[in-house]
Amino acid sequence: MITPKPPPETDATLRQRAEAQWRKRIENSADAFGDLTLRDTNLLMHELHVHQIELEMQNEELRRAKTEADDAKARYQDLYDLAPVGYCTVNADGVISQANLTLTTLLGVTHKALIGKPLARFVCREDQDTVYRVRQQVLSPPGAPGHAGAPPTCELRMVRGDGASFWAQWTASTKRDAQGAPELRLVVVEISARKAAEAETLLAASVFKHAREGIMITRPDGTIMDVNDTFTRITGYTRDEVVGQSPRMLNSGRHGPDFYVAMWQSLKTEGYWSGEIWNRRKSGEVFAEIQTISAVRDAQGQLQHYVALFSDITAQKEHQRQLEHIAHFDALTNLPNRVLLADRLHQAVAQATRRGDTVAVAYLDLDGFKSVNDHYGHDVGDQLLIALASNMKDALREGDTMARIGGDEFVAVFTDLTHPQASLPLLTRLLEAAAQPVLVGDIQVQVSASLGVTFYPQAQEIEADQLLRQADQAMYQAKMAGRNRYHVFDALQDTDLRVHHEDLHHIERALARHEFVLHFQPKVNMRTGQVIGAEALIRWQHPEKGLLAPATFLPVIEEHPLAVAIGEWVIDMALQQIERWREAGLDLGVSVNIGARQLQQGDFVERLKTILAAHPKVVPSCLELEILETSAVKDMAQVSSVIDACQQMGIAFALDDFGTGYSSLTYLKRLHVAMLKIDQSFVRDMLQDADDRSILQGVIGLASAFKRGVIAEGVETIAHGTALLELGCDLAQGYCIARPMPGDAMPDWVETWAGGSNPFG
C-alpha cells in the first residue's frame, strides 16, 4: 500500500521550529556550563544571529521553490485544460471525477455539469457496449480475461449537451487514486472530419467500383491509369490489359480525325466533352456509347487527369432505329408513310427550286379494293396491297418516292423532270402496275387505280403540303371520269374554289361580328294607298367596302350551312323589328325570304317555333315567308308539308319570282301559298314587251282562279304601277314607291305615305 505524502510545511512553521531548537540548545548549554560569562553570552548571541540569517535565507529559498512549484502547477493546469485533446478521469463506478476544458468544450457543457456525471450519459446508446468493453479491458487485473496489455483505442459516437452527436477516438489507461482504487484515464479526440473523409473515400471507391457507367481515368497525356468493373463488362478488356495503354485502342474507325480534334479542343477550352461515340469491344464488335469526359485540376489549376464516364447505348440506338423505321415507314407495305413522304416532298421542292427542275406529285387510290376486302376478307386485301405496293415501287425510277398514306391510298413523287409532260409515261406505268393481276394463294384478284397529278413549280407560290391536296382533288376527278385513268390538276379551277372558301370564311366572320343589317322595302296597295307590310332585305355593312347588296354574298352561301344560320338570323331580326315598331305605334307585318337549303332542313318547323317563342309579343300572322318557285319544286312533298305546318301556326307563305320557274298548275294546286309574287323581270319590260304583258295577265289570272293574292315587285315608275292596276294587280313594291330603308325610318315613311304621297291615288 502506498503511504500518502504529508502536506508541505509553511514558512512560519519552519521559523518556529528553528527558534525552538536554539532555545533548547541554550538551555542545554546553561545546564552544562552553569553561569556564562559576558563574553560567552555575546558569542552565543552572535551564533544565534548567524543561524537566524541562515534560517531567513532558507525561508527565502523555500518561498522561491514554492513560487516555482505554483508556477509549474499553473502551467500544468493550463496544459491540461487547454490541451488540443480532451482528458478525463473516470472512477470505478464510471463517474467522471476530473476533466479538462477541452473536453467540456467538445461536449458543450460546463465543468460543473460534467464532474460527477456518468460517462455513459455522453455516449450514444448504440455505442454503450463499446464503453463497457473499454472499461473491462483497462480496469481488469493484469492477466485477467479481457485485460488489455497496451492502452486500448476505440472509436465511438458521443453526444453533446444539445443532443448533437459526433465521432470521437478514445485512448484509455488506468491509475489508482489516493486510496488505491483503480481509475480510468481517457484521452478524447474528435474525429468527425476524419470519419466524414473516410466515408467519402469509401463512397467514392464504392461508386467507382459499382457504378453502372464505365469509368476510365487517364493521365493528362491520355495514358489510362484506372478503369472500373463496368468498363470491363462493356468493353471486354480487363484492368490489367488497359492500364498504361491509350484509349485509341477502343477506336471503331467510324469517326474521322476531325471528330477527335474537336473532342480534344473542347476538353482544352471548356474542360469537358459530352456526346455519342462509336467504339470497338475486345471481341471486335462495334458499340455505341454516350460519353462525358471531364478535366480534373488541382487547387492551383494544374491538370491532374481526365475522367471519362460512358454508358453502352447500343440497344437504345437499335431501338431508336426501329422506332424511326416505324415512325417513317408503313408497317404493312414497308413503303414510306405520310411523315417521311412530307419530308421527301419538302426536299424535292427545295431541290427543284435550286435546280429549276419540275416535280410531279401523283395521288393514287385503288378502284374496287373495298370489294376485294368484302368478298375475300382483309387478309387477302392486305396481301394485295403488299403486292401492288411492290409493283408500283418497281415502276418508279431510282430517286422517286412511293408512299402509302393510309388504306388503299398511295402517293408518288417524281423528281428531276425537265417538264411536266415528262411524267406522263411514268403515270402510265404506275397505272399499269396497279392494274396487274395478283395471285393470293389460289385466288387471283385484280383492281385498277384512279390517279391525280399536279406539278411544281406553279404560277403562284405554293407549299409542299398544298401539292398533296391538289393531287387529291385531281384523283377524285379521275374517279368521277370513269376510273383507271389519271387527271391533271386544274390550277385555275382550284383558284376559284379557294376564293370561294375565303368568301365563306369572311361571311362567317361577318355574322359573328354582327356586320349584317336589315333594310325594309314597303309593300302597298296602289289602289287604296294602304301599306300592307314590308319585305326584309339583308345587307352587309362591310367595315371596308361599305353597304353591300345581298347579290354580292348570298349566292356564295347558297349550298352552305351558313345559309341556314343567316336565314334564321334574318327571321330573328325581323321579329325584333316588328316588336320595336309596335312599341312606336306601327302595326306592320314583315315578309322574309327563305332559301332552299333552310327550307329543306328536317327540323325547319321546330327551329322556327323556337325563334317565335323568343318573341312572345309578336303574333305569328305578322310573319310571311317567301320561297322561290325553283326551290319549292325540288321536294314538293316536303315543302307542301312545311307550308301546311306553318299555316297552322298562322304563318302565310308567298311564292317568290313566280313565272321564272316551271309555273305548273299542279304546283299551284299542291302548294297552299297565300300570295304569288310576280318577278320584276316581267314588270320591268311590260311597257315595251307585249309578251311580258301577256305573261303578267296570265299570272294575275292564275292567281284569281286559284284564289291567291298577287303582288308585283320592281315597280320603278308610275307608268308601271298604272299599267299593273289596269291589269288587275293592286299590290306592289318597288323604287317608285320606296327604296329599302333601315327599320327605324319606316314609321316616318308610313306616316308620310298615308298623308297623301301615294302617286297612284
CATH H-level superfamily of 86-196 = PAS domain (3.30.450.20)
d(CA 82, CA 68): 21
pLDDT at residue number 33: 47
d(CA 123, CA 168): 10
pLDDT at residue number 1: 33
Per DSSP bridges, beta strands 731-733 and 709-713 are: parallel
Give the model confidence (pLDDT) of 636-672 as tens digits.
Answer: 778 888 989 999 999 999 988 776 655 556 667 777 8
Please say if the pLDDT value at position 494 is more than 70. no
Is CATH 3.40.50.720 correct for 211-318?
no
pLDDT at residue number 27: 60
Calculate mean pLDDT across residues 202-213: 77
Is the pLDDT higher at 165 or at 69? 165
pLDDT at residue number 175: 82
Please say if the pLDDT value at position 29 is more than 60. no
Calculate mean pLDDT across residues 248-264: 91
d(CA 453, CA 424): 10
* Closest C-alpha to 654, from 624, 631, 699, 621: 624
> Cα 285 to the chain's mean position, in Å?
39
Same-fold call for 211-318 versus 503-750: no
Domain boundaries, the chain: 11-79, 86-196, 211-318, 329-489, 503-750
Model pTM score: 0.45
**pLDDT, the chain, mean:** 86
Give the model confidence (pLDDT) of 300-355 as tens digits.
Answer: 888 999 999 998 888 888 888 888 888 889 989 999 999 999 999 999 999 999 99
pLDDT at residue number 500: 74
Calculate mean pLDDT across residues 707-734: 92
Q: 152: which residues sit within 8 A by CB, 6+ positions away? A: 134, 137, 138, 171, 172
pLDDT at residue number 496: 63
Calculate mean pLDDT across residues 599-615: 92
Calculate mean pLDDT across residues 4-24: 58
pLDDT at residue number 380: 93
Calculate mean pLDDT across residues 226-231: 90
Is the pLDDT higher at 145 or at 172? 172
Is the pLDDT higher at 492 or at 411? 411
Please say if the pLDDT value at position 748 is more than 70. yes
d(CA 564, CA 607): 11
pLDDT at residue number 3: 40
* Closest C-alpha to 485, from 390, 584, 367, 397: 367
Is the pLDDT higher at 289 or at 207? 289
pLDDT at residue number 203: 76
What value does the CA radius of gyration of the chain take, rounded to a whole number of Å?
59
CATH H-level superfamily of 329-489 = Reverse transcriptase/Diguanylate cyclase domain (3.30.70.270)
pLDDT confidence of 93, banded at 50, 70, 90?
confident
The 3-state secondary structure of 516-534, one letter per residue: EEEEEEEEEECCCCCEEEE
pLDDT at residue number 41: 67
Calculate mean pLDDT across residues 84-107: 89
Q: Report the topology of domain 503-750.
A: TIM Barrel (3.20.20)
